[in-house]
């Protein structure tokens, strides 16, 4: 039986959800396939959304009109902002989410989208046709033999492709959380000439709450009056969001002895696992090997939801056999009687070499085929959702005959993420960190909507109502900054007492509020006592105004760097260039440029193996080509 649609999305994890919702909301007939309908929006690892740099991604997803932020706000059971002791650039929101509630919300959202069909079936083949412009997608085939004709397909298969589970010396084919693996699609992609690679990730055990003595652990409570992820949640997100506490525990010498004595039994060190694992989210065995001098490692004990007693032990990922898992856990303080509900495991899976894709996330070799999420070699729910949103938007724009959406590095962490993937590739599961961006101060959480809402509105995912509210907030920010820059306060006794109590130098002459606010020890709230004419403003507005005033000089400096790089991006590289024929270009650089086929000089300068001298050769070549030489 043959069916017909416009856009097919393969996989209903965090990437697939955003891709399907984006294309459907842009008016295109969309079908979302999943191996198991009960696993839509599943969190097979940590039941949380956000974290360092990841929180930035969620704010950006929301600003573009994506769904993750709204769903996370509704499913939040604890909210915290990380790195508050550091600069505003690295402040990162992280919420503990109710795992079951998040899945329920996402499945209900998908089912209610009018242009979207949700189908339980495994896709085993990508159907293509030869055209004058090359190979292009024309359909997909399910494991039941059904053919779905389409013009665009997005692969968001997560960690399911030919996936294997490792627990000690036990190895078996399975997907995460005991689900079936996806078989056949990897072979189909290889037949299309696409380069695949093998990656590995893992997850800790889940432990029954009643078996942990939480009273002896360090309690970690949520923050007061947290800021929601989504602008749509403003006014409906109060302190009651913090419904649980998390806890902290540490490994000890006995834990380390058990692990070290059993290293040979770990799948990671027995030679069974061939895939590359994540450097920045290693197993506990790898931590001990890599940081042998550390006496202890911090672990976080986090609830999986309000209606379950499963507790997640963040930082304790392992592929040890089950008896060693018990010994490791029971060596921890408060875990002497620990009962494991789900064993920890490592999982190995196929994914694409991301240099196979354009910045739109469309495959270079197969027109109409896109990749998103862990299929693209990344790690994490937030990275997956961000790519899914971009892939869904670009597939829809292409279907509608409109210009693609390509986010620059200076516009967003999403742009940085995608540029890193398609330009540099991924030799291990890629994880977003604030240190990956050269424009950290410009890419803050608080100004995500300022950077991206206009784009989301133009592509059709941000509603008219929300866009008007955004414009109003932007006007309020601008007005408040102008007021702070223009308001002079006199050196009164009460003001100087306030300054002294805050560890700041008293003033002897009049000073602008903005000048005082730029002092590191002073904040917008501290100065409220000396600012009786301050208007009543939303928290988002106050936060952005304060940061822009405090860091005005640094922001100006970064903007000049953005402008310099923008000029490089304007120097386009024709698609027909034969890099091997350019005189003066090193062999390594020519090979890398042939493989990546960068769109402009800016992208070329980010390719590993292409140095400044090679860029100079390219610039000279472009000038000569322009002059007809």
- 281-307: per-residue pLDDT in tens? 789 999 999 999 999 999 999 999 999
- Does the structure show a pLDDT above 70 at 434? yes
Residue 269 has pLDDT above 90, yes or no: no
Name every residue whose Cβ is closer than 8 Å to that of residue 464 and which is 6 or more positions away in sequence: none
Does the pLDDT at position 274 exceed 90? no
Tell me how far apart the alpha carbons of residues 45 and 99 are, in angstroms, rounded to a whole number.
Answer: 10
How far is it, in rounded angstroms, from Cα 14 to Cα 35?
14
- What tens digit of pLDDT does each residue of 234-248 get? 777 766 789 999 999
Mean pLDDT within 187-196: 97
Q: d(Cα 264, Cα 574) in Å, to the nearest integer?
A: 53
Placement of tokens 């490791």 in the chain = 328
Round to whole Å and give the CA distance between 437 and 455. 20
User: For the domain 481-558, what is the CATH code?
Assistant: 1.10.10.1800
What distance in Å separates the CA atoms of residue 187 and residue 222, rounded to the nearest whole number? 47
pLDDT interval class at 47 (50, 70, 90): very high
How far apart CA 153 and CA 175 sit, in angstroms, is 22
What percentage of residues in the chain have a pLDDT greater than 90?
Answer: 90
Structure tokens at 104: 């329920």
How much is the pLDDT for 473? Answer: 95
pLDDT value at residue 236:
75
Q: For the segment 64-94, what is each residue's pLDDT rounded down to a tens digit? A: 999 999 999 999 999 999 999 999 999 999 9
Q: Tell me how far apart the alpha carbons of residues 37 and 244 are, in angstroms, rounded to a whole number.
A: 29
pLDDT digits (tens, 9 = 90+) for 602-629: 999 989 889 999 999 999 999 888 887 5
What number of other Cβ atoms are within 10 A of residue 529's Cβ? 12
Distance CA 36, CA 119 (A): 9
User: How far is Cα of residue 174 from the mean position of the Cα atoms in its chain?
Assistant: 25
Q: Do domains 2-43+104-199+349-449 and 570-626 have the same CATH topology?
A: no
Q: Determine the 3-state secondary structure of 96 from DSSP.
A: strand
Q: What's the pTM value of the predicted model, to 2 decimals? A: 0.94
Looking at 2.40.50.430, 1.10.150.570, 1.10.600.10, 1.20.1260.10, the CATH number of the domain 570-626 comes to 1.10.150.570
Tell me the average pLDDT across 263-273.
87
Nearest to 189 by CA among 391, 375, 384, 445: 375
Band of residue 576 on the pLDDT scale cut at 50, 70, 90: confident
Q: Which of 6, 151, 60, 162 is nearest to 443 (CA)?
A: 60
Averaged over 557-572, what is the pLDDT? 90
In angstroms, rounded to a whole number, what is the distance separating the alpha carbons of residues 620 and 626?
A: 10
Question: Which CA distances in Å does 183 have to 125, 196, 276, 418?
Answer: 10, 14, 20, 27
Domain borders along the chain are 2-43+104-199+349-449, 206-348, 481-558, 570-626
Q: Tell me, what's the pLDDT at 470?
A: 96
Angle at 118 between CA 113 and CA 121, to 5 degrees: 170
The domain defined by 2-43+104-199+349-449 folds into FAD/NAD(P)-binding domain (3.50.50)
- The pLDDT value recorded for residue 513 is 96
Mean pLDDT of the chain: 95
CA-to-CA distance for 577 and 610, rounded, in angstroms? 16
pLDDT for 443: 96
3-class state of residue 350 by DSSP:
strand
* Angle (CA) 487 492 496, round 5°: 95
Beta strands (DSSP E) in 106-205 are 116-120, 123-131, 134-142, 147-149, 152-155, 164-167, 170-173, 196-203
Residue 1 confidence class, pLDDT cut points 50, 70, 90: low
Neighbours of 30 (CB within 10 A): 30
Q: Is the pLDDT of residue 229 over 80?
A: yes
- Over 90: is that where the pLDDT of 278 sits? no
pLDDT band at residue 531 under the 50/70/90 scheme: very high
Query: What is the rounded CA–CA span in Å between residue 246 and residue 217?
Result: 10
Digit-coded pLDDT (tens) for 88-141:
999 999 999 999 999 999 999 999 999 999 999 999 999 999 999 899 999 999
Q: What is the pLDDT of residue 199?
A: 96
Predicted pLDDT of residue 626: 82
CATH architecture of 206-348: Beta Barrel (2.40)
Q: What is the pLDDT of residue 413?
A: 98
**What is the model's pLDDT at position 629?**
58
For 51-195, strand residue ranges (E) read: 76-82, 92-97, 116-120, 123-131, 134-142, 147-149, 152-155, 164-167, 170-173
Query: Hey, is 106 helix, strand or coil?
Result: helix
Q: What is the mean pLDDT of residues 156-164?
A: 97
Q: How confident is the model at residue 442 (pLDDT cuts 50, 70, 90)?
A: very high
What average pLDDT does the segment 223-231 reach? 92
């Amino acid at each position: 039986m043959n069916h017909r649609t416009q856009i097919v999305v393969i996989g209903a994890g965090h990437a697939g959800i955003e891709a399907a919702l984006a294309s459907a909301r842009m008016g295109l007939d969309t079908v979302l396939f999943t191996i198991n309908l009960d696993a839509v929006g599943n969190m097979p690892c940590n039941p949380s959304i956000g974290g360092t740099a990841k929180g930035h991604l969620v704010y950006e997803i929301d600003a573009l009109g994506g769904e993750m932020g709204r769903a996370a706000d509704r499913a939040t059971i604890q909210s915290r902002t990380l790195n508050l002791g550091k600069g505003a650039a690295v402040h990162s929101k992280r919420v503990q989410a109710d795992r079951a509630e998040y899945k329920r919300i996402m499945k209900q959202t998908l089912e209610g989208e009018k242009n979207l069909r949700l189908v339980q079936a495994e896709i085993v083949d990508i159907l293509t046709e030869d055209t004058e412009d090359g190979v292009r997608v024309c359909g997909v085939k399910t494991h039941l033999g059904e053919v779905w004709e389409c013009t665009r397909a997005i692969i968001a298969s997560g960690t399911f492709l030919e996936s294997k589970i490792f627990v000690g010396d036990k190895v078996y084919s399975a997907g995460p959380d005991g689900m079936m693996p996806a078989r056949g699609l990897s072979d189909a992609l290889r037949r299309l000439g696409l380069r695949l690679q093998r990656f590995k990730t893992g997850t800790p055990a889940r432990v029954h709450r009643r078996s942990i003595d939480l009273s002896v652990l360090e309690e970690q409570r949520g923050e007061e009056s947290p800021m929601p992820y989504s602008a749509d949640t403003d006014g409906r997100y109060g302190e009651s969001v913090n419904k649980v506490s998390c806890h902290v525990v540490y490994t000890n010498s006995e834990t380390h002895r058990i692990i070290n004595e059993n290293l040979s039994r770990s799948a990671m060190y027995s030679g069974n696992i061939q895939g590359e694992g994540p450097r920045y989210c290693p197993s506990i065995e790898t931590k001990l090997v890599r940081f042998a001098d550390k006496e202890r490692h911090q672990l976080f004990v986090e609830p999986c939801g309000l209606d379950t007693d499963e507790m997640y032990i963040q930082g304790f990922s392992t592929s040890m056999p089950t008896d060693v898992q018990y010994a490791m856990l029971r060596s921890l303080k408060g875990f002497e009687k620990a009962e494991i509900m789900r064993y920890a495991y490592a999982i190995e899976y196929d994914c694409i070499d991301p240099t196979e894709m354009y910045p739109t996330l469309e495959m270079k070799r197969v027109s109409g085929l896109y990749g998103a999420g862990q299929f693209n070699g990344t790690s994490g729910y937030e990275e997956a959702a961000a790519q899914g949103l971009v892939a869904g938007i670009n597939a829809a724009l292409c279907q509608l005959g409109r210009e693609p959406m390509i986010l620059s590095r200076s516009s967003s962490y999403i742009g940085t993420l995608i540029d890193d993937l398609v330009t540099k590739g991924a030799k291990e599961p890629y994880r977003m960190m604030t240190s990956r961006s050269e424009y950290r101060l410009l890419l803050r959480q608080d100004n995500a909507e300022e950077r991206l809402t206009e784009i989301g509105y133009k592509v059709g995912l941000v509603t008219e109502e929300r866009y008007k509210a955004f414009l109003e907030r932007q006007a309020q920010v601008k007005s408040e900054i102008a007021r702070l820059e223009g308001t002079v306060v006199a050196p009164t006794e009460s003001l100087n007492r306030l300054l002294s109590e805050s560890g700041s130098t008293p003033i002897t002459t009049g000073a602008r509020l903005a000048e005082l606010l730029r002092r590191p020890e002073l904040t917008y709230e501290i100065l409220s006592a000396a600012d009786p004419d301050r208007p009543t403003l939303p928290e988002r507005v106050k936060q952005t105004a304060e940061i822009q005033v405090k860091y005005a000089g640094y922001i100006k400096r970064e903007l000049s760097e953005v402008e310099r790089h923008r000029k490089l991006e304007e120097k386009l590289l024709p698609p027909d260039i034969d890099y091997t024929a350019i005189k003066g270009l090193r062999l390594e650089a020519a090979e890398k440029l042939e493989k990546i086929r960068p769109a402009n000089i800016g992208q070329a300068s980010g390719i590993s193996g292409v140095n400044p001298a090679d860029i100079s050769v390219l610039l000279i070549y472009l000038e000569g080509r322009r002059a007809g030489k």
